[in-house]
Amino acid sequence: MPAVITIRNLRKTYASGFEALKGIDLDIERGEILALLGPNGAGKTTLISVVCGIVNPSDGEVIVDGHHIQRDCREARKRIGLVPQELSTDAFETVLATVKFSRGLFGKPRNDAHVEQVLRDLSLWDKRNSKIMQLSGGMKRRVLIAKALSHEPDVLFLDEPTAGVDVELRHDMWQMVRRLRERGTTIILTTHYIEEAEEMADRIGVINKGELVLVEDKAKLMRKLGKKQLALQLQSPLESIPAALHDLPLELSKDGTTLTYTFDAQSDDTGIAPLLKRLSEQGIDFKDLHSSESSLEDIFVSLVRKSA
Ligand SMILES: Nc1ncnc2c1ncn2[C@@H]1O[C@H](COP(=O)(O)OP(=O)(O)OP(=O)(O)O)[C@@H](O)[C@H]1O
């Protein structure tokens, strides 16, 4: 199935000369939840803003369901719902009026039943006649989501949906995102929280300093996380790994003093006992050993460091 959004060589240099996006290529699959992780200032909001047609790119292109975001902006934009980080809605409006108005902005005919359904799904129906300024922070966030869903978009962008919200609202938000996905909506969310990406996403993208440093299926990433490493400090440095051991997943450090063996932590048979026997057959002795396990956090940190 063709991607719902295609991003090619996307670059953004702000008027200040700052290069916020340095050539992003990404295909967003229909119906997936993609989490974009990255530290502050990585370029996540810029990327979303360009894809949603709010900020013009300096180079490259974005195609949304066959429509070019700049040349065919109205059609492309209709298919997208954006939940920004901050609320800029008129504080004196009621919840119902503001959500209805949002739908109208996209040229969609009035549909009170849909607006009611969106408000009910977000537990906002009872608050429909409240003014925005009378709502709690969490409720205001729900209004933002309701506005973004008012015109029935195929793709929903959530820019840090749970930044600064309490645990209960965070879990509500996750549930809501899952419900939307079940109905076929494609969801792209940005987050600082690795836990959130782990919990929600089908795929995880890591962005740092304007570059997409990784995009991978979450399950695959998790399998990598299931790997453990055993590091052996050798008695005497090796120049290279002996040919007789080439069938083993071994890596030698540059200085030849450490051999690292990677194994599947979930497997019953780690292969450590035969490894040690074969090392001894080759006359390789070690003075110390320790094992380590990587987490998504480690992978994230090392990727961000590597691309720094
Ligand atoms: N209008 C602008 N003019 C100049 N620089 C900008 C502008 N908007 C953003 N930037 C810079 O571009 C970089 C990327 O910002 P962006 O908001 O996209 O990052 P982010 O990954 O969303 O960060 P955060 O997680 O803090 O929201 C930052 O260094 C920011 O200062």
Atom of ligand 1 nearest to the CA of 48: 18
Residue 191 has pLDDT above 90, yes or no: no
CATH code for the domain in which residue 258 is found: 3.30.70
Min mean pLDDT across 110-114, 239-243, 302-306 is at 302-306
Q: Using CA positions, which residue lies closest to atom 17 of ligand 1?
A: 45
Query: What is the tally of structural domains in the chain?
Result: 3
Residue 291 has pLDDT above 90, yes or no: no
Q: What average pLDDT does the structure give for the chain?
A: 89
What percent of the residues of the chain are helix, what percent strand, and what percent coil, each to the nearest 5?
35, 30, 35
Q: How far is the CA of 221 from the centre of ligand 1 (A)?
A: 27
Q: What ipTM goes with this model?
A: 0.95
- In this structure, the answer to whether residues 130 and 37 fall within a common structural domain is no
Name the more confident of 5 and 223.
Answer: 5
- In this structure, the answer to whether residues 65 and 166 fall within a common structural domain is yes
Residue 206 has pLDDT above 80, yes or no: yes
Cα–Cα distance between 161 and 172 in angstroms, integer? 11
Q: Is the pTM of this model over 0.80?
A: no
- In this structure, the answer to whether residues 20 and 129 fall within a common structural domain is no
Range of the domain at 167: 1-79+154-225
